[in-house]
Amino acid sequence: MRKTIILSAAALLLAACCNQQKFDGPAYLDPNAPVEVRVEDALSRMTLEEKVGMTTAQSKFSSRGVPRLGIPEVWHTDGPHGIRPEVLWDDWDQAGWTNDSCTAFPALVNLAATWDKEMSLFYGRSIGEEARYRKKDILLGPGINICRTPLNGRNFEYMGEDPYLAGQMVVPYVKGVQENGVAACVKHYAVNNQEFQRTQSNSVVDDRALYEIYLPAFKAAVQEGGAWAIMGSYNLYNGQFNCHNKRLLCDILKGEWGFDGVVVSDWGGCRVSDEAIRYGLDIEMGTWTNGLRGAASDSYRNYHMADPYLKGLREGKYTTAELDDKARRILRTIFRTSMRPEPNYGRFVCPEHYQAARDIAAAGVVLLKNEDNVLPLDVPQGGKILLVGENAVKKMVVGGGSSNLKTSYEINPLEGLQNAFAGKAEVVWERGYVGDVGRSYNRVDTGQDLTDNRSPETLVAAAVEAAKDADYVIFIGGLNKSKHQDNESTDRFDTFLPYAQQDVIEALAEVADKFVVVNISGSPVSMPWEDKADAIVQGWYGGTESGNALADVLTGKVNPSGRLPFSIPFKYEDGPIKTEAQYPGIKAEDDQFWQTHYSEGVYVGYRWYDSKDVPVQWPFGHGLSYTTFEYGNAKAARPYMKADGTLKVSVEVTNTGEIDGAEIVQLYIADPEASIDRPAKELKGFEKVYLKAGQTKKVDFVIDAADLSYFDAGRHEWVAEPGEFKALIASSSKNIRAEIPFTLK
């Protein structure tokens, strides 16, 4: 018997050895060889021309591999909310595929509003699977530029105004995407906070603001998320374009942070050959060529890092040191993605992804106001709900710039509520106003004709008439993705609702019994009509399942737990930007560029409003629930913390209402004794806690010196000054539930 066991063990061992046969081929093709071994082996086999070849685009969304060695080209895709439909090889026209309608996930600002790291991982995994199925290697996202001004046209693609929130939310997204063998390309690095003159503006920002506000989320994406790719932004910093910015790319990203991935230019963002070669750009992607179509030959060869680079190398102007570094990074990306050891195939437009999109969208919806608990909707059998407003029907996945998607379907709010009330109540719609009737972007067409030639008076009168016998009137408006709204390449002009929306809201408020306003936008909208509504809901661009997700919250199927990822001011002028030099910047006659001075320093968003005691319409972190929460027993483990130690603070949160719900418990740190001017408080922790009705849970936060530090630009280091601090447990930046003083020794 014993002999039999020994013999079978030997047979198993032999079988295992046979399965792990020595790879018979070059090391770079060996899927089991370490990535760095594969990189060095491939590099040693490549010619100068092949190395240079990899550093530029060969089409709108691909860059070269090494065809002779069987190393595949790299396929890039937008990003960041879904997988972009295929365009022609060298033209933005649609390629006309019929199998590229994706799942549109919610806009990243919606994800940020969940304040839920699990949701971010779920998002990253799901979109990563879609990218993998579509055979994409680099996903051009997530975007994490700070919402410095509410007017920035791309706020909807980013994660709000706070570096800690954005940093915490970006890390799981990156990990989730990369689990699929798809590189997340974190964008747009860095200090790219406006669309106005985005390719001609120089951000003038001091080191303290740079390190405290604009870099931390990128650093987290790289160091904690392990991001494999970064996209340089269009603008300049320090007078140098960011796609080849020595300080940002060589000194900070690849130097201080040890980034070993690939730097991709924004499309057409590479502007100077010599700098691109020397200052950290690895792949030059572009827009403004006439490539294969009009040119006699492949005009990608004229790219800054193509023939001009080769010429410089041959003439001895450049050494191969920079080139080998670029080639190594590109090879590493390929071995991490398309040539990864264990291929997976992803999945696409499946029920699981639709459900993910719906859950994430619903989790980010923010209940701003709910007088007399008018929500969730309580409609009698056979009752009537009137929806008014263009955003109740407008398809929003199409538009907005490069994040434009072709989606397999899109549920609008009217359909979502009709689904929810089928057989129970009538849900009808009135237009109320005409906003944007555009229906296509980049030749992706919604198929929706919103033309309406009625006068504004007629539209309002029809809505008012219909409101008279409605149990609920829900106005669904806000912004959209057309020019000067939530849209790439243009900024907004002010923070108010566009079109005649305010008139419609005021007219409806006069007649409606129960009046709810849903604002759908990707950036802050001031609400001078706040008092007119019984309830106000902040919705976002929710993607494919947008309308169902909104209905889930309005009906109470999902108890709202979203929180604002930015402050909503009463008006733009209340914010920290007071001069033209700050925004949009100033261009002197003899200057080629606009100079944008970030002279507000670290006082961005609530750091400004709370430090200067400026009231806001809705504070950062604000959001209500259909239940109520009480905070108690907040304490620190000790009254002091040592500089090299940590301090645990905890609080008990109780759901004091009658239904289950989730609270976002926030931790801010205040440094009242600082020797320099510091914001009144800064977010340093948050946790989403699910609580059954009546349940209490303890929430712990662990504080360390990094949470207490400011960036000392002179010494180029983070400093935590000994003395008194306060840990503030809060439910928004303005709603402090408990103060815990402690001393840093």
Q: Applying CB under 6 A, does 487 fall inside the site for ligand BGC?
A: no
Nearer to ligand BGC, 442 or 733 (CB): 442
Q: If you search the block for the tokens 């590479």, which residue do you land on? A: 270
Nearer to ligand BGC, 120 or 233 (CB): 233
Q: Applying CB under 6 A, does 156 fall inside the site for ligand BGC?
A: no
Q: Applying CB under 6 A, does 172 fall inside the site for ligand BGC?
A: no
Beta bridge pairs of residue 699:
651
Helices 501-511 and 456-467, packing angle to 10 deg: 30
Catalytic residues, by residue number, are 266
Q: Applying CB under 6 A, does 647 fall inside the site for ligand BGC?
A: no
Amino acid at 412: N
Name the E strands within 345-452: 366-370, 383-388, 425-430, 440-441, 444-445
Q: Applying CB under 6 A, does 116 fall inside the site for ligand BGC?
A: no
Nearer to ligand BGC, 177 or 558 (CB): 177
State the Cα–Cα distance between residues 428 and 439, nearest whole angstrom: 22
State the Cα–Cα distance between residues 178 and 618, nearest whole angstrom: 36
Q: How far is the CB of 243 from ligand BGC (least distance, A)?
A: 11
Residue numbers 43-82 binding ligand BGC by CB under 6 A: 78-79
Q: How far is the CB of 247 from ligand BGC (least distance, A)?
A: 21
Q: Are 488 and 155 in contact (CB under 8 A)?
A: no
Nearer to ligand BGC, 271 or 424 (CB): 271
Q: Which residues of 512-535 are buried (b: 16+ CB within 10 A; e: fewer)?
A: bebbbbbbbbbbbbbbebbebbbb
Helix (H, G, I), strand (E, B) or coil at 192: coil
State the Cα–Cα distance between residues 260 and 588, nearest whole angstrom: 39
The residues, any chain, with a CB within 8 Å of residue 210's CB and separated by 6 or more, are: 190, 191
The residues, any chain, with a CB within 8 Å of residue 314's CB and separated by 6 or more, are: none
Nearer to ligand BGC, 143 or 432 (CB): 143
Q: How far is the CB of 64 from ligand BGC (least distance, A)?
A: 18
Amino acid at 600: E
Taking CA atoms, 219 is separated from 154, 167, 603, 720, in Å, by: 21, 8, 20, 19
Q: Applying CB under 6 A, does 406 fall inside the site for ligand BGC?
A: no
Q: What angle do CA 41, 43, 47 make, to 5 degrees?
A: 130
Q: Applying CB under 6 A, does 402 fall inside the site for ligand BGC?
A: yes
Q: Applying CB under 6 A, does 187 fall inside the site for ligand BGC?
A: yes
Q: Applying CB under 6 A, does 318 fall inside the site for ligand BGC?
A: no
Rg of the chain, C-alpha, whole Å: 27
Q: How far is the CB of 465 from ligand BGC (least distance, A)?
A: 45
Q: Are 716 and 606 in contact (CB under 8 A)?
A: no
Amino acid at 219: K
Q: Applying CB under 6 A, does 266 fall inside the site for ligand BGC?
A: yes
- What does the H/E/C string look like for 289-322? CCHHHHCCCCHHHHCCCCHHHHHHHHCCCCCHHH
Q: Applying CB under 6 A, does 140 fall inside the site for ligand BGC?
A: yes
State the Cα–Cα distance between residues 459 and 254, nearest whole angstrom: 57
Q: How far is the CB of 196 from ligand BGC (least distance, A)?
A: 14
Q: How far is the CB of 282 from ligand BGC (least distance, A)?
A: 16
Nearer to ligand BGC, 199 or 654 (CB): 199
Beta bridge pairs of residue 650:
635, 700
Q: How far is the CB of 402 from ligand BGC (least distance, A)?
A: 4
Q: How far is the CB of 395 from ligand BGC (least distance, A)?
A: 21
Q: Applying CB under 6 A, does 522 fall inside the site for ligand BGC?
A: no
Beta bridge pairs of residue 445:
440
Beta bridge pairs of residue 663:
689
Nearer to ligand BGC, 109 or 533 (CB): 109
Q: What angle do CA 687, 688, 690 make, to 5 degrees?
A: 135
Q: Applying CB under 6 A, does 218 fall inside the site for ligand BGC?
A: no
Taking CA atoms, 559 is separated from 204, 282, 362, in Å, by: 43, 46, 9
Q: Applying CB under 6 A, does 359 fall inside the site for ligand BGC?
A: no
Q: How far is the CB of 287 from ligand BGC (least distance, A)?
A: 7
Q: Applying CB under 6 A, does 507 fall inside the site for ligand BGC?
A: no
Number of residues that bind ligand BGC (CB under 6 A): 7
Nearer to ligand BGC, 108 or 377 (CB): 108
Q: Are 508 and 463 in contact (CB under 8 A)?
A: yes
Q: How far is the CB of 52 from ligand BGC (least distance, A)?
A: 23
State the Cα–Cα distance between residues 564 and 559, nearest whole angstrom: 16
Q: Site for ligand BGC (CB under 6 A): which residue of 267, 309, 529, 686?
A: 267
Q: Are 94 and 85 in contact (CB under 8 A)?
A: yes
Nearer to ligand BGC, 79 or 575 (CB): 79
Nearer to ligand BGC, 198 or 737 (CB): 198
Amino acid at 481: K
Binding site for ligand BGC (CB under 6 A): 78-79, 140, 187, 266-267, 402
